[in-house]
Structure 1
Amino acid sequence: MSPTASLAQDERLSVLFDELGELTGQRNAIDGRIVEIVAEFDRDELWAAAGAKSVAGLVAWKAGVSPSRAETIAAVAHRLNEFPRCVTGLKEGRLSLDQVGVIAQRAAEGSDEHYATLAAAATVTQLRTALKLAPKPLPEPEPESDTQPEAEPAPEPSINKTTDDQYTYWHIRLPHVEAATFDAALRSHQDALIAEWKELDETAARPPMPTTVDAFLRLVETGWDAEAARRPHGQHTTVVMHVDVKDKVGSLHLGPVLLQHDRQYLSCDATCEVWFERDGRPIGAGRTTRTISRRLRRALERRDLTCVVPGCGATRGLHAHHLRHWEDGGLTELINLALVCPYHHRAHHRGLITIVGPADRLVVTDHAGRPMTSTSLARPPTQPPPDVAPCPGPTGERARWWWYEPFQPPSPPARN
């Protein structure tokens, strides 16, 4: 029986409210300390060293919270220095993480004092309404000029490519009509990718929302598949890589030399055609048998279900990773394969994480050799709760928005 069950109703409510306010204040203060820890993860990018895709993914994994709450914690941590008053209210137990999270996710720079005062009385819903009423920042005015610019000739369509040690850069210039077609295709593929992303289980750690780059790659792949279908004996367009078997050096066909992790990454999931060379002379082409069959792929998907890296849970776009690298003699068999998402696949080949087989005794470690497990770090506390005042909570009165004065961002300095 509850210790307050024998009390009168009003007295019982008073006792329970007192305890609720005290526990809420302690929880808010604990959330404030969690935000400071996550801010350190974010500032030094320690989440990548731990094998996570993002700081929010690390919080969801290690703290055992939902992805949406992890995003809120990450948003506050990322803007910790921009909202010191709001974060102080959180650490002192007066404001909740949800209140500060709404501010950090939507408020303009320089509005810390305004929203810290408002949050002392406003609910989370009222804070969202106040942020919607805030004026949008105006673009900086263009400098006035008395001289009329000379008419320039219409630019010709062009595609330029430059390459450095790590990346290849494409610069595409199209007339407005062709650019509109290109934009429409990108939007269509991005909408489809986002629809697939939204269908994923929200209780699991989801990959980042698809970007324009993901849509562009889907557009390219779709064009490849359509072209291959029109050719009577056409195969899927492939990337061609040349590998010197003596020096273990790889390069793209008519392209730059690849780093070791990029060479192994390309050959691992059978996404490219490999030509072997010795002393600059071809000695044979890699067989496509390193590509897993549909039957083997189905068996692999039924066994692993998701990315095998603990804390990930990605289910779309998974790669079939050779636990013993294909170029080192690893076989394309179920015992030597594991499903990994593209992020963790590349992280493995770059040495950020290590995936060691065989598949029935899989061990995943981070860059420091610490085993990665899917369990959170939550455990029974060994220290007393923070000594803070009970949380009073929002006052809860009805907001009269016609009296409310939204935060006004400072005007940009005038140009001379």
Structure 2
Amino acid sequence: MNAEELPIDQLETEICTLAGQIAAATARFLFLLAEFDARRGWASWQLHSCAHWLSWKAGVGVHTAREYVRVAKALTELPRIAQAFAAGTLSYSKVRALTRTATPHTEESLLRIALESPAAHLDRLVRGLKKQTRTPEDVERTGGRWFYDDDGYLVLTARFRPEDGARFLAALTRAEYERTRTDDREPDLTAPAPPNPVPAMTAMAESVCATSDSPVVAPAADVLIHVGPDGEPLDTTHAHLDDGPGLDPQTLENVLCTASVRLIRHGRLGPTIAWDKSRRRPSRTLLRQLVIRDRCCAVPGCGRTRFLHAHHVKYVSQDGPTELDNLVLLCGEHHRALHDGHFTITAHGNQQFSFHHPNGARIDYAPPLSGNADDLTQRYRYIEPDAITADWSGEPLDVSFATDVLLRNWDLDERRRASGLATAA
């Protein structure tokens, strides 16, 4: 029977039944995702995280994929909530809210509230709990330092005052959004600061170097690379950063594709310095044409639109031409992965390119998806029509009172536990 032929009460029953079945199927989906992430089944040169794998393989938006991964990880520590989710009595929206604040010690009381309240009330309660459980940290001496370690990597340590740290995280969050977004949508105001700040910090550095000219007398404000003697072919075997570590040929090839770099050449005996004047950077017109053509990182499954590099398919050191038939846009991670040998690009002429694994297998842009709704309803046919409906009588939520009661009860339970442990000892 078509939906338009069903009576209202039957429509309502089927909608609620399907909502419970979808919740149970989503729980299974997230349990599998948590195990997949724990085994790092997604880890490869091509993908930045489990969320990126999910976005590419399952057609999920990157932000939604990040939330899926976060919730999946949290559920491994919350067995009671996970059980109710699998039974179809908790919706994904409620579980997502619960995992923002629940702990193994508080999940039981929060689960009872979630089963008896609508999702909107639960969202407000969780927000109230997160606000009231924040404690100001003691302000201590701030500072930081940097150095190159034995492997040649730059190491940074820093300690910020709380307000300065908030500004830094806000800047990181904006840089991460600009670095990873794939279209012109407004930013997601709920996105947290990136847990790994290094890519966003690199993007911030690229942005500053691209928009601010350095003083002529400040070498530290430029990326300076020392190469071979002046007047000879580029030496990729003895290149090194100014007052820094050496660069292997792959890293040097990567750096040569970027714009904010100055090469320093020396005389045969070393002391004479000369700026390398050869032009490797695409002209403004050529760069505009490249951006209009590619729009985003050209690697299948990426789609990033910010902080892109114009890569020479035939390397600059191999006299590769700076023209559209030899240029593609790559994000920073994939640019480095390419030069590290994790994949290759083949230019076919007429601005046509293909991407390949090291074994020669071609990389597809969009893996096929398949699914069957009938399989879902058959597998979860045990879900009752009202399983996901909250046992709520319509009473309003007093957030301040509810959060105060919960926090007092949790504190009392913690004291009882501590007292019991002390007595047992």
TM-score range, shorter chain: 0.7 to 0.9
- Do the aligned partners of 2:345 and 2:356 also contact (CA within 8 Å) in 1? yes
CA change 1:183–1:204 in 2 (3 A) is closer
Q: CA deviation at 1:400?
A: 4.5
Of residues 264, 267, 274, the one that matches 2:256 is: 267
Structure 1 position 384 matched with structure 2 position 375: yes
Q: More deviation in 51-60 or 275-284?
A: 275-284
Distance 2:222 2:93 in 1: 49
Of residues 118, 124, 127, the one that matches 1:129 is: 124
Partner of 1:406 in structure 2? Answer: 406
Equivalent position SS for 1:45: coil
For residues 64-75 of structure 1, the aligned pairs below 5 Å read: 64-75=59-70
Unpaired runs of 5+ residues, structure 1, are 142-153
Q: More deviation in 95-104 or 239-248?
A: 239-248
Give the TM-score normalised by the residue count of structure 1. 0.74
Distance 1:243 1:43 in 2: 46
1:112-141 Cα shifts (integer Å, max 9, x gaps): 323333322332222212212324165899
Percent identical pairs in the alignment equals 24
Q: CA deviation at 1:27?
A: 1.8
Structure 1 position 165 matched with structure 2 position 151: yes
Q: Which amino acid aligns with 2:95?
A: V
CA change 1:164–1:317 in 2 (3 A) is same
Equivalent position SS for 1:340: strand
Q: CA deviation at 1:166?
A: 5.0
Partner of 1:62 in structure 2? Answer: 57
Equivalent position SS for 2:47: coil
Of residues 201, 207, 210, the one that matches 2:184 is: 201
Structure 1 position 242 matched with structure 2 position 227: yes
Distance 1:338 1:249 in 2: 28
Distance 1:164 1:71 in 2: 34
Equivalent position SS for 1:169: strand
Q: CA deviation at 1:217?
A: 6.6
For residues 8-407 of structure 1, the aligned pairs below 5 Å read: 12-49=7-44, 51-108=46-103, 110-134=105-129, 135-136=132-133, 161-165=147-151, 167-170=153-156, 193=175, 201-202=184-185, 214=200, 218=204, 222=208, 226-228=212-214, 237-242=222-227, 248=237, 250-274=239-263, 286-358=276-348, 360-365=351-356, 371-375=362-366, 377-381=368-372, 384-385=375-376, 386-387=379-380, 388-390=382-384, 392-395=387-390, 396-402=392-398, 404=402, 405-406=405-406
Equivalent position SS for 1:49: coil
Unpaired runs of 5+ residues, structure 2, are none
Distance 2:282 2:150 in 1: 32
1:278-332 Cα shifts (integer Å, max 9, x gaps): 9997999754411111111111011111111223222121111122222233222
- Do the aligned partners of 2:282 and 2:322 also contact (CA within 8 Å) in 1? yes
Q: Which amino acid aligns with 1:237?
A: D
Equivalent position SS for 2:225: strand
Distance 1:208 1:288 in 2: 43
Give the TM-score normalised by the residue count of structure 2. 0.72
User: How many pairs are equivalent?
Assistant: 389
Distance 1:364 1:59 in 2: 20
Alpha-carbon RMSD: 4.6
- Do the aligned partners of 1:307 and 1:314 also contact (CA within 8 Å) in 2? yes
Equivalent position SS for 1:46: coil
- Do the aligned partners of 2:227 and 2:265 also contact (CA within 8 Å) in 1? yes
- Do the aligned partners of 2:309 and 2:335 also contact (CA within 8 Å) in 1? yes
- Do the aligned partners of 1:262 and 1:349 also contact (CA within 8 Å) in 2? yes
Q: More deviation in 279-288 or 307-316?
A: 279-288
Q: CA deviation at 1:342?
A: 1.4
CA change 1:249–1:105 in 2 (3 A) is farther
Distance 1:84 1:136 in 2: 23
Distance 1:136 1:99 in 2: 20
CA change 1:373–1:127 in 2 (3 A) is farther
Equivalent position SS for 2:75: coil
Q: Which amino acid aligns with 1:310?
A: P
Q: Which amino acid aligns with 1:361?
A: Q
1:116-173 Cα shifts (integer Å, max 9, x gaps): 33322332222212212324165899xxxxxxxxxxxx99x98552423152124579
1:324-352 Cα shifts (integer Å, max 9, x gaps): 22223322221111111112222322344
Q: More deviation in 126-135 or 46-55?
A: 46-55
Q: Which amino acid aligns with 2:354?
A: V
